[in-house]
A = this chain, B = another copy of it.
């Protein structure tokens, strides 16, 4: 096979970025501030300290500092599984017979199976540095919980994970990986919290929800000496940590002397997409370069393409601050969708603002077409992709096929966030032809959007 660049490009260890990039510093329109759900005033740092680690609160609220040094302890851990490769998808290009040049940044080569580890290790580090005993969190699909368990094992921190009960029961292997890394995994709702007890009393037999698990994790963090709550997506601090993906990708492209025309990423809460596009968006914001940037979301949970840009609750329990974001309403419950990591009702404030400013596009894709792309990709590129990542694959294939029609030699970069080793129930459904698509009706969305909180900002 003729190759003008290597199939995989790895940076050397001393080329791994030593600073995170904060895209907010280059945004003319900053993301709207978090609001106190009681006073509807912007949250002050002190109000967030009982919930989040202090250093992370500072990162969360900082719209101005362009670069943050990555502490050496985090860099050491990064060396364990980074650099991740920038892969030229020669085999996929050949299968599609396209003139497009397709690249992907692959974040799945670690035990968490996804990019989540990039932020987990940062959040665990700051918790350790603050002298905490441990952290609490929630997990749905389980990638974030696994990543946090690994990070906490490394820093010898206690890790308490509230796992949505239906996932806990359907994904015993995910739970077992977390236990192997020493985490305490509790199916949510549980009797260990007041909110859990309340929900179980009102809805006996419920299999839980992400919103409920968040509420339990926050309750335990706030109520326990030496604990804080951590979150794997949506927050601006998470996008800051995930900027390592984009910075590495950009450094690898620079080494190859290549510039992508188009950057595609799947979008749930926005952690992967926000991280991948950060340095490219920075260039775009500063007028140094232009890129077409596309967020891909599931048609079953289309916050950017069909949601409303408004203040909303981050959790169904309504205990967290309000965030201004593209949202379907915190009441929105996406139906059967195997891309568990893309089921969040809202979108990162940073990405919401960039989208609202016309700096990026968004599209939604349907589940069966996503698995069709996933299977095609697996067979030619060898990697079994996570359902979440496969949303980006679908769009990249579609774009490459457009190039085939027009003859354009576009250079496409997409984020391959993770592997699908723990998603084989979904693959089984697809292989057996029993997978279906679901698109919420306008009435569904009107209903959940009608319950947005009234905020004049």
A residues contacting B by CB (< 8 A) are 1, 3, 6-8, 10, 12-13, 72, 76-77, 79-81, 91, 109-111, 113, 150, 153-154, 172-173, 176-177, 179-182, 375, 378-384, 419, 421-422, 424, 427-428, 431
**B431 and A382 within 8 A (CB):** no
How far is A206 from B293 in the complex, measured between Cα atoms in Å? 56
Q: Quick one: which of B1, B13, B81, B424 contacts A382, CB cutoff 8 A?
A: B81
**B382 and A80 within 8 A (CB):** yes
**A76 and B1 within 8 A (CB):** yes
Q: Quick one: which of B8, B10, B113, B419 contacts A79, CB cutoff 8 A?
A: B8
**A375 and B80 within 8 A (CB):** no
25 residue pairs A–B, Cβ–Cβ below 8 Å: A1-B72, A1-B76, A6-B12, A6-B13, A6-B79, A8-B13, A10-B10, A110-B382, A111-B378, A111-B384, A113-B421, A150-B379, A153-B378, A154-B382, A173-B173, A173-B421, A173-B424, A176-B424, A176-B427, A176-B431, A177-B384, A177-B424, A179-B428, A181-B378, A421-B421
For A380, the closest partner residue in chain B by CB is: B154
Known: A172-B424, A182-B379. A80 touches B7 (CB 8 A): yes
How far is A17 from B305 in the complex, measured between Cα atoms in Å? 49
How far is A91 from B431 in the complex, measured between Cα atoms in Å? 41
**A181 and B7 within 8 A (CB):** no
Q: Is the interface of A mostly helix, strand, loop or mixed?
A: helix
How far is A79 from B179 in the complex, measured between Cα atoms in Å? 35
For A117, the closest partner residue in chain B by CB is: B382
How far is A391 from B112 in the complex, measured between Cα atoms in Å? 23
Q: Quick one: which of B72, B382, B421 contacts A422, CB cutoff 8 A?
A: B421
For A180, the closest partner residue in chain B by CB is: B427
How far is A127 from B385 in the complex, measured between Cα atoms in Å? 28
**A172 and B7 within 8 A (CB):** no
Q: How far is the CB of A325 from chain B (nearest CB, A)?
A: 33
**B79 and A7 within 8 A (CB):** yes
How far is A384 from B146 in the complex, measured between Cα atoms in Å? 11
Could you say which residues of chain B place their CB within 8 Å of the CB of A419? 111
Could you say which residues of chain B place their CB within 8 Å of the CB of A173? 173, 421, 424
Known: A81-B382, A381-B80. A431 touches B179 (CB 8 A): yes
Could you say which residues of chain B place their CB within 8 Å of the CB of A180? 375, 378, 384, 427, 431
Q: How far is the CB of A23 from chain B (nearest CB, A)?
A: 28
How far is A72 from B1 in the complex, measured between Cα atoms in Å? 8
For A80, the closest partner residue in chain B by CB is: B382
